[in-house]
Amino acid sequence: MRFVTTFPLLLSLLLLTHGAPSSEKPLPLVIWHGLGDTYDSEGIQSVGDLFNVLYPSTFVYPIRLASSSSSDRSATFLGDVNAQLEAVCADLAELPELAEGFNAVGFSQGGQFLRGYVERCNNPPLKTLVTFGSQHNGIAEFIARCEPGDWVCAGARSLLKGSKWSALVQSRVVPAQYFRDPEQIDEYLEHSNWLADVNNEREEKNKTYKSNLETLERFVMFMFADDETVVPMETSWWAEVNRTSGVVTPLRESRIYTEDWLGLRKLDLQGRLEFETVPGKHMRFEEGVLKRVFEIYFGPKGKKGEWHWRGKQSEEL
């Protein structure tokens, strides 16, 4: 979903108060935006600006699926995620600034797509991945509404209402490719064009997906406390919700974790998997949240794994 924040005031304050940059330089930052957003939107650009205020001259790259804003936005609704991910893999591999590795932040669907990057290619290597409101365990409901006159969104929504498991919709409508209703699990496993594969849920497991994901130094999943856009919101923590009873099955109680299909259990036992919460609705950021995230996870100390969101060190920031 589109990024909404109030960064201009924060950026102005930081420009006035931020001290001399650290002699240690953090890794480059890659950003993947969400549904309906663009790589050059004001919100996404402000994320890069904030990072550069904290860490001047550090390379920042917002992922783009097309060269124009309108086409990039359309690609968040319509397209084959497998082809899009392949194009991103090739794009990042050609950037010399990323050759030694990079950190990344994924907003909404951009988060699970970055995870897909790690599993399928990871060259250059992604070190620390932070996701906000991402749908790691899929969605059980589609787009609630579209803005008046947003024909791309309306067109995608219309296709979704038709036949979500058809080959046409699964290969063409982006949100359909991470639709996962626990009450339709058989249909999902048979027809899902993307999520069932990258989540290693089918009978034949991809060992490369697991070994690649296990290389992450840190994998941090943030859930918005008042998220009403993503259904269920617990998917941001890779949980599953019974739509009838409302019972939540946490990741740690699922087979993907207990049988370690993707290496998540290994990451967790080694302290490299974090489940965190931020206040607010989906993609509505309070001032200071991303600044803390950048300092804790992407700064020189953060990349060594010394700071944590709820730890003593982070409280001192």
Q: Are the C-beta atoms of 130 and 143 separated by less than 8 Å?
A: no
Residue 282: active-site member = yes
* Active-site annotation holder among 74, 108, 134, 236: 108
Q: Are the C-beta atoms of 94 and 62 separated by less than 8 Å?
A: no
* Active-site annotation holder among 33, 136, 191, 282: 282
* Active-site annotation holder among 136, 227, 236, 308: 227
149: DSSP letter: T
Residue 226, CA distances (Å) to 85, 110, 232, 251 in order: 30, 20, 11, 20
Residues forming beta bridges with residue 223, ordered by sequence position: 277
Helix or strand holding residue 104 (H, E): strand 102-107
Residue 191: active-site member = no
* Torsion angle, alpha carbons of 64, 61, 216, 315, to 10: -120
Going 41 to 47 to 51 to 53, the CA torsion angle's sign is positive
Active-site residue numbers? 108, 227, 282
